[in-house]
Structure 1
Amino acid sequence: MTQTAAIASEIFRPTEYVTGDLKSGLLLLCDHARNTVPPGYGNLGVAPEQFERHIGYDIGARAVTLELAKQLSAPACLSTFSRLLIDPNRGEDDPTLIMRLSDGAVVPGNARVDETERAFRIDQFHKPYHDLIDQTLDAMIDVAAPPVLVSIHSFTPIWRGVPRPWHATVLWDLDARAVEPMLSGLRAQDDLVIGDNEPYDGALKNDTMYRHGTCRGLAHVLLELRQDLIADHAGQMEWAGRLAPILRDIATRSACREIRHFNSRTDAH
């Protein structure tokens, strides 16, 4: 940790909060909303164009999240820093929390991160994001039935030269309460190819959904939207429009508004 970075962290806001109706039944999350690096860290030694790739942030996810918050009158919690600095969708003990190499791109600014700097980044950036989620959930549960957690992500249309066929996918572990109506709602739209736990596995120990959904017994669903479909304003509005009615329906389901504890597939590892 440099002195400059320590000073900069005091003025950099690591979270973005969108005010919404605490009784809406939905809390929207966006873990990888921005590709910003706080002052004092420069560009982590990475070429600027790398930050425009998936390794820097989830392209289009923030705009879709904000539009959904508007249409659903739901609160939203978003991070404001690039995952190249630290990944808020990883547990604090995850070896990929701070990446030294990401999809072929070397990150020199992370090469010599020691335990002191790791702890500093957790305290200044990672922890405030998760604290905001916890505080918002507590406030929502104080005034209404427990909300459904909805996390918005995006994925690349091609991986290692192979096109990915899905328009959107749903990631999940063992709690299917919000997942089943989401999959049904998306698959009812005949022009879409929808994946189930593709292109990633939804069971990840101590990630955002595990920490705030599984551990708290809250219904939750993680949506992955293909980046090329939400890279511009028209696509972002289209997908918010596709998702909003499904999420409204989910928020009305009594089973989704109860605290129920499920096991995790990660427990076997």
Structure 2
Amino acid sequence: MSLDTVISRSNLLADDEVPPVLEVNDNGRSPFVFTCDHYGRLIPRALGQLGLPEEELVRHIAWDIGIAGVATALARMLDAHLIAQRYSRLVIDCNRPWEAPSSIPMISEATTIPGNEGLTREAADARRSAIFAPYHRRIETVLGQRQQDRRPTILVSLHSFTPVYAGIKRPWHVGTLYHRNTRLPPLLLQLLRKEGDLVVGDNEPYAVSDATDYTIPVHGERRGLMNTGIEIRQDLIDEPFGQEQWAERLARILTEIEAVFGAEHLPV
């Protein structure tokens, strides 16, 4: 099923509800294009709270805590285009293939999601149509236009991760995520480790794959773009001060990466 077909079925969001896609610097001059699949935690009015109390909806299971502030600040610092998704990953996870069981999770970590149980195919399609498809269609459109305009492009998918998952502590401050790309991630790892005060994960706390991820495999790898994912530990960016610090750090590192590769060596 194509994104165009899914979009045509959209009826979940009312006209007065927040649209799923948020953009910053849509005319940004930087070669970097940032995506943020888990930027927000909104839930369509028709779905209530998915049967969950508010304390669950502010946890990491609902969104990537802190990454919104980092992504927005970073895009402005670099004059880079940010494309972000405002609705909760509990409604539909925009970094999962929509045929994957985790696309609309029935359990996240140890929390059962009552509003996701027993969904009809039509109900699932409505979520894909209203949220998943417009977000990924916008990324497709932007990258396609940049390619047509022969603008050098580096795709970076921004995420954050919980310090403790299923009772297991995660030691990394930041991790780089990648699959087939072998140019950008090694340099990013080297520069992050050069900082001296960071525990840096190499494909930690997650590794990218076609079965478990969507943004990097579809928008980065299929287009042949240089790409990477960046994961920041949430306790480091759960307040504005930490978000600004990390945006400044990443801006400095990514600027160095841009200088190393040079526009003439970047895919278009």
Q: TM-score, normalised by structure 2?
A: 0.90
Cα offset for 1:23?
3.7
Which consecutive aligned stretches of 4+ in structure 1 deviate over 4 angstroms post-superposition?
A: none
1:232 aligns with 2:239: yes
Cα offset for 1:211?
0.7
**Seq. identity, %:** 36
| Corresponding residue of 2:83 | 77
For residues 175 and 248 of structure 1, the distance between their equivalents in structure 2, rounded to whole angstroms, comes to 19
For residues 137 and 256 of structure 2, the distance between their equivalents in structure 1, rounded to whole angstroms, comes to 28
Q: Where does the alignment leave 5 or more consecutive residues of structure 2 unmatched?
A: 1-9
- Does structure 2 conserve the Cα–Cα contact (< 8 Å) formed by 1:9 and 1:124? no
- In structure 1, which of residues 135, 145, 156 is the aligned counterpart of residue 141 of structure 2? 135
| Corresponding residue of 1:8 | 13
Q: Paired residues, what number?
A: 255
| Corresponding residue of 2:266 | 257
- Does structure 1 conserve the Cα–Cα contact (< 8 Å) formed by 2:12 and 2:44? no
2:203 is matched by which residue type in structure 1?
A: N
- In structure 2, which of residues 225, 228, 248 is the aligned counterpart of residue 221 of structure 1? 228
CA shift in 2, pair 1:106/1:191, >3 Å: same
Post-superposition Cα deviations, 1:179-222, rounded to whole Å, max 9, x if no partner, equal 12211110001111101011111223351110100111111110
What SS is found at the alignment partner of 2:176?
strand
For residues 113 and 131 of structure 2, the distance between their equivalents in structure 1, rounded to whole angstroms, comes to 18
RMSD: 1.7
CA shift in 2, pair 1:181/1:39, >3 Å: same
For residues 14 and 37 of structure 2, the distance between their equivalents in structure 1, rounded to whole angstroms, comes to 19
CA shift in 2, pair 1:203/1:59, >3 Å: same
1:234 is matched by which residue type in structure 2?
A: F
For residues 180 and 157 of structure 1, the distance between their equivalents in structure 2, rounded to whole angstroms, comes to 24
CA shift in 2, pair 1:8/1:160, >3 Å: closer
- In structure 2, which of residues 159, 163, 167 is the aligned counterpart of residue 157 of structure 1? 163
1:200 aligns with 2:206: yes
What SS is found at the alignment partner of 2:128?
helix
What SS is found at the alignment partner of 1:62?
helix
- Does structure 2 conserve the Cα–Cα contact (< 8 Å) formed by 1:219 and 1:256? no
Post-superposition Cα deviations, 1:22-68, rounded to whole Å, max 9, x if no partner, equal 44101011100011101111101011110111110000011100000
- Does structure 1 conserve the Cα–Cα contact (< 8 Å) formed by 2:92 and 2:103? yes
- Does structure 2 conserve the Cα–Cα contact (< 8 Å) formed by 1:24 and 1:251? no
Q: TM-score, normalised by structure 1?
A: 0.90
| Corresponding residue of 1:63 | 69
Cα offset for 1:256?
6.1
| Corresponding residue of 2:3 | none
- Does structure 2 conserve the Cα–Cα contact (< 8 Å) formed by 1:34 and 1:82? yes
1:190 aligns with 2:229: no
| Corresponding residue of 2:60 | 54
1:103 aligns with 2:109: yes
1:8 is matched by which residue type in structure 2?
A: L
For residues 8 and 123 of structure 1, the distance between their equivalents in structure 2, rounded to whole angstroms, comes to 10
| Corresponding residue of 1:265 | none
| Corresponding residue of 1:262 | none
Bigger shift: residues 194-203 or 15-24: 15-24
Cα offset for 1:227?
0.2
1:166 aligns with 2:175: no
Cα offset for 1:160?
2.6
